[in-house]
């Protein structure tokens, strides 16, 4: 499942320190510096990649460590633990849903001020009216239960349930590494406010903060090696894959025919949809091949360990599949805003023909990767000169 690596690393660190006493004794002298190290590293990565949500999450976790460490025990604000147990997961779940607007921007500044203002307002109100806070937290929908059990505040339970549902739907909607890290931080940070097991609360929060920090690294890796529009590995991933292959391989350079005309006539939105449709078909390539986004409207199919003769049939099958799939052009004016009393018979949707041309080459003994790509490109050029929508071998 994409995006869960930061969560797994943070969770593994938590379990290791709790379940491995000898290991905890080895690293214990360094644990006091861990929160500052994680916070500094995470904020540096957030600044480097201009990501506001992970930076805010780390600051919220740092704030959450305060009541777990000393604020609630000192009694400076009544019911601080319960208030943090409500504000911390709520703020982190909101970050799951908010789009990324950057760290150094007006939007990022307004978000920071908004969260700070909300937290300050809640704690200020609680300091002036602790009796009202206790009355809200102690409210129960029923006076007694048929079984004897001690439950937390009903309001907190209801809030956690709602936040859990919102977090799950947010992950379903856009479950990238940042979103997974934020959702995990909301859960684990709330747990730490009540129970930190065998380690100090500050250490627990520091290890939870590893998730947003590592998510930034994974996100940067994804941006470098994967194409965001099509979801295919990018050109850098192709270059690394070629470097790892020592023996024989074949590759096909694929180009969408007349793609510039799609963009000029129907707009870039339609062009993007065409790119995604073609990428989806190429991603289903067989014969041990893998599809890459080479750049623009050009793609690459790489077949490690395969000869030219063994991949030509599969490459042509993909070409035919793209041609038969076509592309349905849906115009906005075809769907009225208000449902008419007598719906008109729908017009036939316009089906656009999408085809691809391909040039295939097999690596010769001792041949460099750029030479193989060059020969495949030359074969692709001949396919276009011959009328497009065909496969030509080098």
- CATH number of 296's domain: 3.30.70.270
pLDDT confidence of residue 22 = 78
User: Of the given ranges (106-110, 116-120, 171-175, 378-382), which has the lowest mean pLDDT?
Assistant: 171-175
On whether residue 339 sits in a domain, the answer given is no
Long-range contacts made by residues 279-285, C-beta under 8 angstroms, separation at least 24? 279/227, 279/230, 279/231, 279/232, 280/230, 281/318, 281/321, 281/322, 281/325, 282/232, 282/254, 282/318, 282/322, 283/231, 283/232, 284/318, 284/321, 285/314, 285/318
On whether residue 336 sits in a domain, the answer given is no
pLDDT confidence of residue 370 = 92
Could you confirm whether 179 is annotated as catalytic? no
* 153 vs 308: which has the higher pLDDT: 308
Q: Do 15 and 112 share a domain, yes or no?
A: yes
On whether residue 188 sits in a domain, the answer given is yes
Task: Report the distance separating Cα 328 and Cα 309, nearest Å.
Answer: 34
pLDDT confidence of residue 63 = 78
pLDDT confidence of residue 148 = 46
On whether residue 341 sits in a domain, the answer given is no
Using CA atoms, how far residue 117 sits from 113, 186, 253, 329, in Å, is 6, 20, 55, 47
pLDDT band at 363 (very low <50, low <70, confident <90, very high): very high
Mean pLDDT of 106-123: 88
* 383 vs 138: which has the higher pLDDT: 383
Mean pLDDT of 207-222: 87
Which among 254, 312, 266 has a CA at the least distance from the CA of 287? 312
Mean pLDDT of 116-127: 87
pLDDT confidence of residue 31 = 76
Q: Pick the last residue of a domain from 206, 225, 244.
A: 225
Cα torsion through 273, 274, 275, 280, rounded to 10: 90
User: Mean pLDDT over all residues of the chain?
Assistant: 83
Q: Do 355 and 216 share a domain, yes or no?
A: no
Q: Do 64 and 167 share a domain, yes or no?
A: yes
On whether residue 230 sits in a domain, the answer given is no
Q: Do 259 and 146 share a domain, yes or no?
A: no
Among residues 82, 179, 297, 362, the one annotated as catalytic is 297
Q: Do 318 and 292 share a domain, yes or no?
A: yes
On whether residue 217 sits in a domain, the answer given is yes
Which residues constitute the domain of residue 248? 235-330+348-393
Using CA atoms, how far residue 253 sits from 294, 311, 345, in Å, is 9, 13, 43
pLDDT digits (tens, 9 = 90+) for 225-267: 888 888 899 999 999 999 988 889 999 999 999 888 888 888 8
What proportion of the chain, given as a percentage, has pLDDT over 70?
86
Is residue 28 over pLDDT 70? yes
Is residue 289 over pLDDT 90? yes
On whether residue 200 sits in a domain, the answer given is yes
Q: Do 52 and 146 share a domain, yes or no?
A: yes
Q: Do 298 and 354 share a domain, yes or no?
A: yes
Mean pLDDT of 10-22: 82
On whether residue 342 sits in a domain, the answer given is no
Q: Do 76 and 212 share a domain, yes or no?
A: yes
Q: Pick the last residue of a domain from 161, 196, 225.
A: 225
Q: Do 218 and 246 share a domain, yes or no?
A: no
Q: Do 177 and 243 share a domain, yes or no?
A: no
Structure-block tokens of residue 391: 């496969």
Domain count across the chain? 2
pTM of the predicted model as reported, rounded to 2 decimal places:
0.67
Q: Pick the last residue of a domain from 225, 244, 270.
A: 225
pLDDT confidence of residue 349 = 59
* 349 vs 221: which has the higher pLDDT: 221
* 120 vs 224: which has the higher pLDDT: 120
The highest-confidence range among 130-139, 145-154, 350-359, 364-373, by mean pLDDT, is 364-373
Is residue 50 over pLDDT 80? yes
Q: Do 275 and 354 share a domain, yes or no?
A: yes
Q: Do 116 and 256 share a domain, yes or no?
A: no
């Amino acid at each position: 499942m994409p995006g869960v690596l930061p969560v797994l690393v943070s969770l593994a660190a938590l379990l290791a320190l709790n379940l491995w006493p000898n290991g905890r004794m080895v690293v214990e002298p360094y644990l006091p510096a861990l929160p500052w190290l994680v916070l500094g590293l995470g904020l540096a990565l957030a600044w480097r990649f201009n990501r506001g949500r992970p930076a805010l999450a780390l600051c919220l976790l740092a704030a959450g460590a305060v009541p777990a460490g000393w604020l609630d025990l000192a009694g400076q604000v009544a019911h601080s633990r319960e208030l943090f147990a409500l504000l911390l997961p709520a703020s982190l779940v909101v970050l799951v849903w908010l789009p990324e607007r950057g760290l150094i921007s007006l939007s990022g500044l307004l978000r920071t001020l908004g969260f700070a203002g909300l937290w300050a307002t809640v704690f200020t109100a609680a300091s002036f009216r602790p009796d009202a806070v206790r009355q809200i937290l102690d409210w129960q929908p029923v006076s007694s239960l048929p079984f004897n059990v001690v439950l937390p505040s009903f309001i907190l339970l209801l809030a956690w349930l709602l936040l859990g549902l919102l977090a799950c739907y947010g992950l379903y909607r856009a479950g990238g590494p940042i979103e997974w890290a934020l959702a995990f931080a909301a859960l684990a940070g709330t747990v730490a406010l009540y129970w930190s097991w065998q380690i100090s609360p500050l250490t627990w929060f520091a290890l939870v903060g590893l998730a947003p920090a590592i998510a930034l690294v994974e996100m940067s890796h994804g941006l470098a090696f994967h194409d965001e529009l099509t979801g295919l590995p990018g050109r850098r991933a192709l270059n690394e894959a070629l470097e790892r292959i020592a023996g024989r391989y074949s590759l096909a350079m694929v180009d969408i025919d007349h793609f510039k005309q799609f963009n000029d006539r129907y707009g870039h939105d339609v062009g993007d949809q065409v790119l995604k449709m073609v990428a989806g078909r190429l991603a289903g390539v067989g014969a041990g091949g893998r599809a890459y986004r080479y750049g623009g409207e050009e793609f690459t199919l790489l077949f490690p360990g395969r000869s030219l003769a063994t991949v030509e049939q599969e490459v042509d099958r993909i070409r035919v599949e793209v041609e038969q799939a076509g592309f349905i052009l849906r115009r906005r004016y075809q769907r009225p805003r208000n449902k008419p009393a007598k719906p008109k018979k729908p017009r036939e949707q316009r089906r656009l023909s999408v085809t691809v041309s391909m040039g295939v080459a097999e690596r010769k003994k001792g041949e460099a990767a750029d030479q193989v790509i060059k020969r495949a490109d030359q074969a692709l050029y001949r396919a276009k000169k011959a009328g497009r929508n065909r496969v030509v071998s080098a």
